Structure 1
Amino acid sequence: MSKPVPAAFWTQPVVQLARALIGTSLLIDGVGGMIVETEAYDIDDPASHAFGGPRGRNLVMFGPVAHAYVYKIYGIHWCLNFVGGVHPGSAVLIRALAPTYGIERMVGRRTLADPRALCSGPGKLAQALGIDKALDGAPLDRPPFALALGETADIIVGPRIGISKAIDHPWRFGLRGSPFLSRAFPKNG
């Protein structure tokens, strides 16, 4: 049984928040599923967009919690983050989702039918859910977003993906055994 996300949920330390989001239901205009993989980013983390303070595209990270931070990587892929944490400049990257709602729309947006590949990475997830810059700064407690907390999940932990700084931080979290992860976790996770 899922329950609404209370306001206080967003103000826990960002690493705890990233773990707590595993199992949460995420829908955007009725399309989505269960979050199965996240990564935490903090203002003191050299791999974070917030490192060095507010500027340009990262300004949303310094605003109120429970808002979307959307940016483009490699000039082609949108990524969805949830602003949260104890202090400004923290966010959780939503890396992967188990698709359950609006699968036909996801298939149309991604032009492939394998459910394991629809949302198995931040760029794929954004494309499947129709996420773009228009959602940057949008509140997570209002449409088009619909979030609901799930049950406590069996979580696996490992290093974040695609970064060159702070690579030793074990701030990537996933649902153990999920076939929808973006990449396998190290065996000792």
Structure 2
Amino acid sequence: MLDRSFFARDSVVVAPELLGCIVTANGVSVRLTEVEAYREDDPASHSFRGVTGRTAVMFGPPGFLYVYFTYGMHYCANLVCGADGTGAGVLLRAGEVVEGVALARERRGEKIADRDLARGPARLAQAMGWGRADNGRDMVGAVRAGEPTAVVAGPRTGVAKAADTAWRFSIPGDRFVSPYKRHPKAPAAE
């Protein structure tokens, strides 16, 4: 299991090291295949404008879950990183359900293919059974190291600001990685 000191580092350092790790919650375990890093000085981060009622969890302590509601219909989850008081986290973008497949399918839908159970941040959160009540949940003891893996970095998906920042990390060629989608309001690629 990864301890609090693992998360108490820069989110850009932690993010690629999370690939291949296993996250367990609510009867489901997911092997992470894709993540994105966010920092307080990053205009694409929820913490960019400082501490609010919504973002307070992101400011530490590290190792906690920051869950937010997006597009009026989905939850997404970040693992809080960095020193206590620093607004940083790693968005859990995609993974492979390795334990609790039947429970994940019950949450996501009976006809959902295994590949799509947790391929995308909202799908992953739904498969894990995470919602508003999980915001601030301590995840130390719920994330275990996985096998070391190759890592590819690229621009983050779905953000309009700092869209070309190469803080999206994934396992190259893994079929559980979500497709890249540039935000329509993002400026042309640099």
TM over 0.5: yes
In 2, the alpha carbon distance for the partners of 1:7 and 1:61 equals: 14
Determine the C-alpha separation between the residues in 2 that align with 1:56 and 1:170.
29
Residue in 2 that maps onto 1:131? 130
Q: Please say which of residues 166-175 and 23-32 is displaced more in the overlay.
A: 23-32
In structure 2, distance between residues paired with 1:15 and 1:72 = 23
CA displacement at 1:48 relative to structure 2? 0.3
Helix, strand or coil at the partner of 1:71: strand
1:62 aligned to 2:37? Answer: no
Q: Following the alignment from structure 2 to structure 1, what is the Cα–Cα distance between the partners of residues 14 and 60?
A: 17
Report 1:25-64 matches (<5 A): 25-64=22-61
Once the two structures are superposed, residues 29-74 of structure 1 have per-residue CA deviations (whole angstroms, 9 ceiling, x without a partner) of: 2302201100000000000000021112001011200000000110
Structure 1: distance between partners of 2:157 and 2:143? 25
The residue type equivalent to 2:153 in the other structure is: V
- Tell me which of 95, 109, 123 is aligned to 1:97: 95
| In structure 2, distance between residues paired with 1:101 and 1:173 | 23
- TM-score, reference length from structure 2: 0.90
The CA RMSD measured in Å over matched residues stands at 1.6
Quote the Cα distance in structure 1 between the aligned partners of 2:20 and 2:33.
6
Structure 1 Cα separation of the partners of residues 171 and 29 of structure 2: 16
Aligned residues: 180
Alpha-carbon distance between aligned partners in 1 of 2:114 and 2:16, rounded to the nearest angstrom:
23
Structure 1 stretch displaced more, 171-180 or 82-91: 82-91
Distance 1:10 1:20, change over 3 A: same
2:23 counterpart of 1:21: no
- 1:184, CA displacement in angstroms? 4.9
1:179 has 2:185 as partner: no
Aligned equivalents of 1:26 and 1:82: distance in 2?
10
**Contact preservation (8 Å) 1:32, 1:97:** no
Work out the CA distance in 1 between the residues paired with 2:4 and 2:97: 25
Structure 1 vs Structure 2: percent identity of aligned residues?
40
The answer on whether the counterparts of 1:154 and 1:175 sit within 8 Å (CA) in structure 2 is: yes
Q: TM-score, normalised by structure 1?
A: 0.90
- Partner secondary structure for residue 40 of structure 1: strand
How far the C-alpha of 1:7 sits from its partner, in A, is 2.4
CA distance in structure 1 between the partners assigned to 2:9 and 2:160 by the alignment: 26
- Long gaps (5+) in structure 2: 182-190
Runs of 4+ in 1 over 4 A off after TM superposition: none
Q: Could you say what secondary structure the match of 2:149 adopts?
A: coil
SS at structure 1 position matched to 2:31 = strand
